[in-house]
């Protein structure tokens, strides 16, 4: 094949907030109707205060049709085709933060200010819609189910089973656990077991944070102007909140007990990976520093960095050239390129140029792995079914230069 199979590890899809209504269980529709105007007002307030509505509005201008790809399959496939993307992973939150599912469902699933019943209702609504959306082009869409596992482990396993049976390709878990036990706790083993058994990769997506630390008591939608420094501190630390659940799973032995468990860390950049692995190795090694803390390694048969290499992949949205240059330190097998469409920080509508800038002149087998091969293996895709799409819209191998770039 003279074209690359390209898979985006990070796409976003979701209904405009009001349209989730029909997907919500009937008994929660009254609550939905009450919560909707509040959710919309808070989103607007946050956009005004934090997300800079003007910039977003400007960016969206003239792209109205393509942005409806957040929920419209025809519009979406046009964008995918133009970007040369054969298949993609689908997270919630279609157009930036405007299409969040109801009741705090999404990729944050914070455990404060919401009840388990409501959050589950919001997740079920989104998961139902997502399952329908996937069926509009099942070979191209890897839909993810939102699973707020903190509240009830059995319910989480049920949710994962439902997702598998309804054609979804993986799950999203809350990256922060509030006052619940962290992901080193063995209480989550039934969830890890279900994911391993059904081959459902787990996803943590960057973004959530303890917002009050940065933005004051009101969080993102708080009243006054953003305190100077808040956004800088947030963007410097955002990958921390992404990596914490993985750190706890690695040290707790989740991948020791469930060696085929898969985790993707999405849109947190990949720049932190080499130092993170070095740190895990250092902390796993016997050092005077850790000696006084007793034996904390005997339940692991290998270093946390080894589990990382075996079980973890990076959803490398908006991947810059620098990360391509660091690919051997990060791990070529770890990297799954992605677009983040239709978010404004994503590569669309400049995907082709940005992808060229990132990968130009690298060895073909490495480009092949990073733009799609790794993701196809991770999600167990049927590449035969994708072949006709690749033949039609995949980017030509020759378009990435001469293979003589930096080793």
Q: Which of 154, 292, 402, 404 binds its own copies (CB under 8 A)?
A: 292
Q: CB nearer to its own copies: give 142 or 254.
A: 254
**Phi-psi domain of 331 (left: phi exceeds 0; alpha: psi -120 through 50; beta: other):** left
Q: Which of 20, 107, 204, 284 binds its own copies (CB under 8 A)?
A: 284
Q: Which of 30, 38, 235, 302 binds its own copies (CB under 8 A)?
A: 235
**Phi-psi domain of 229 (left: phi exceeds 0; alpha: psi -120 through 50; beta: other):** left
Which of the ranges 18-26, 71-79, 164-172, 280-288 carries the binding residues for its own copies, by CB under 8 A? 280-288
61 belongs to the binding site for its own copies (CB under 8 A): no
60 belongs to the binding site for its own copies (CB under 8 A): no
Q: How far is the CB of 56 from its own copies (least distance, A)?
A: 6
Which of the ranges 45-53, 76-84, 120-128, 155-163 carries the binding residues for its own copies, by CB under 8 A? 45-53
237 belongs to the binding site for its own copies (CB under 8 A): yes
Which of the ranges 17-25, 31-39, 46-54, 163-171 carries the binding residues for its own copies, by CB under 8 A? 46-54
Q: How far is the CB of 25 from its own copies (least distance, A)?
A: 33
Which of the ranges 32-40, 153-161, 297-305, 378-386 carries the binding residues for its own copies, by CB under 8 A? 297-305
Residue numbers 199-228 binding its own copies by CB under 8 A: 212-214, 216, 226-228
Q: Which of 8, 39, 43, 96 binds its own copies (CB under 8 A)?
A: 96
Q: What is the C-alpha radius of gyration for the chain, rounded to an integer number of angstroms?
A: 21
Q: Which of 288, 384, 404, 407 binds its own copies (CB under 8 A)?
A: 288
Q: How far is the CB of 290 from its own copies (least distance, A)?
A: 5
Residues 6+ apart with CB under 8 A from 273: 314, 329, 330, 331, 334
364 belongs to the binding site for its own copies (CB under 8 A): no
Residue numbers 163-182 binding its own copies by CB under 8 A: 179, 181-182
272 belongs to the binding site for its own copies (CB under 8 A): yes
The 3-class secondary structure across the chain, one letter per residue, is CCECCCEEEEEECCCCHHHHHHHCCHHHHHHHHHHHHHHHHHHHHHHHHHHCHHHHHHHHCCCHHHHHHHCCHHHHHHHHHHHCCCEEEEECCCCCCCCCCCCCCCCCCCCCCCCHHHHHHHHHHHHHHHHHHHCCCCCCEEEEEECCCCCCHHHHHHHHHHHHHCCCCEEECCCCCCCCCCCCCHHHHHHHHHHHHHCCCEEEECCCCCHHHHHCCCHHHCCCCCCCCHHHHHHHHHHHHHHHHHHHHHHHCHHHHCCCCCEEEECCCCCCHHHHHHHHHHHHCCCHHHHCCCCCCCCCCCCHHHHHHHHEEEEEECCCHHHHHCHHHHCHHHEEEECCCCCCCCCCCCHHHHHHHHHCCCCHHHHHHHHHHHHHHHCCCCHHHHHHHHHHHCCEHHHHCCCCCCC
Give CA separation, 203 vs 108, 115, 180, 361, in Å: 11, 23, 19, 31
Q: How far is the CB of 10 from its own copies (least distance, A)?
A: 13
Which of the ranges 53-61, 62-70, 165-173, 397-405 carries the binding residues for its own copies, by CB under 8 A? 53-61
Residue numbers 240-259 binding its own copies by CB under 8 A: 240, 244, 247-248, 250-253
Q: Which of 25, 275, 364, 382 binds its own copies (CB under 8 A)?
A: 275
Q: Which of 65, 152, 299, 301 binds its own copies (CB under 8 A)?
A: 299
The site that binds its own copies (CB under 8 A) totals a number of residues, namely 63
231 belongs to the binding site for its own copies (CB under 8 A): yes
Residue numbers 301-320 binding its own copies by CB under 8 A: 304, 318
241 near 210, Cβ under 8 Å?
Answer: yes
265 belongs to the binding site for its own copies (CB under 8 A): no
Binding site for its own copies (CB under 8 A): 50-52, 55-56, 59, 96, 179, 181-182, 184-186, 212-214, 216, 226-237, 240, 244, 247-248, 250-253, 271-272, 274-275, 278-280, 282-284, 288-294, 296-297, 299-300, 304, 318, 344-346
């Amino acid at each position: 094949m003279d074209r690359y199979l390209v898979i985006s590890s990070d796409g976003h899809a979701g209904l405009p907030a009001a349209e989730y209504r029909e997907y919500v269980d009937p008994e929660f529709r009254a609550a939905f109707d009450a919560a909707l105007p509040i959710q919309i007002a808070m989103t607007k307030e946050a956009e005004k205060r934090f997300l800079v509505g003007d910039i977003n509005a400007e960016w969206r201008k003239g792209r109205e049709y393509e942005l409806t790809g957040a929920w419209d399959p025809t519009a979406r496939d046009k964008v995918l085709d133009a970007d040369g993307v054969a298949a993609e992973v689908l997270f919630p939150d279609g157009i930036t933060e405007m299409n969040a599912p109801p009741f705090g469902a999404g990729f944050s699933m914070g455990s404060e200010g919401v009840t388990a019943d409501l959050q589950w209702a919001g997740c079920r609504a989104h998961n139902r819609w997502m399952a329908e959306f996937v069926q509009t082009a099942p070979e191209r869409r890897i839909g993810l189910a939102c699973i707020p596992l903190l509240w009830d482990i059995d319910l989480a396993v049920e949710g994962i089973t439902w997702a598998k049976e309804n054609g979804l390709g993986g799950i999203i878990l809350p990256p922060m656990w509030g006052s619940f036990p962290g992901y080193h706790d063995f209480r989550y083993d039934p969830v890890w077991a279900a994911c391993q058994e059904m081959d459902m990769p787990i996803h943590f997506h960057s973004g959530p944070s303890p917002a009050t630390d940065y933005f004051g008591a009101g969080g993102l939608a708080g009243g006054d102007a953003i305190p100077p420094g808040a956004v800088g501190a947030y963007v410097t630390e955002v990958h921390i909140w992404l990596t914490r659940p993985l750190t706890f799973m690695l040290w707790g032995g989740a991948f020791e007990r469930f060696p085929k468990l898969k985790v993707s860390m999405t849109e947190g950049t990949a720049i932190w990976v080499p130092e993170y692995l070095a740190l895990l190795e250092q902390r796993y090694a016997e050092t005077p520093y850790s000696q006084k803390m007793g034996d904390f390694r005997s339940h692991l048969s290998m270093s946390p960095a080894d589990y990382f290499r075996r079980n973890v992949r990076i959803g490398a949205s908006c991947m810059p050239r620098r990360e391509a240059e660091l690919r051997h330190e990060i791990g070529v097998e770890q990297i799954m390129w992605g677009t983040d469409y239709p978010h404004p920080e994503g590569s669309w509508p400049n995907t082709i140029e940005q992808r060229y800038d990132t990968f130009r002149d690298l060895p073909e087998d490495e480009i092949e792995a990073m733009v799609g091969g790794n993701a196809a293996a991770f999600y167990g895709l049927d590449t035969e079914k994708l072949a006709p799409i690749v033949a039609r819209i995949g980017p030509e191998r020759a378009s990435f230069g001469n293979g003589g770039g930096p080793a």
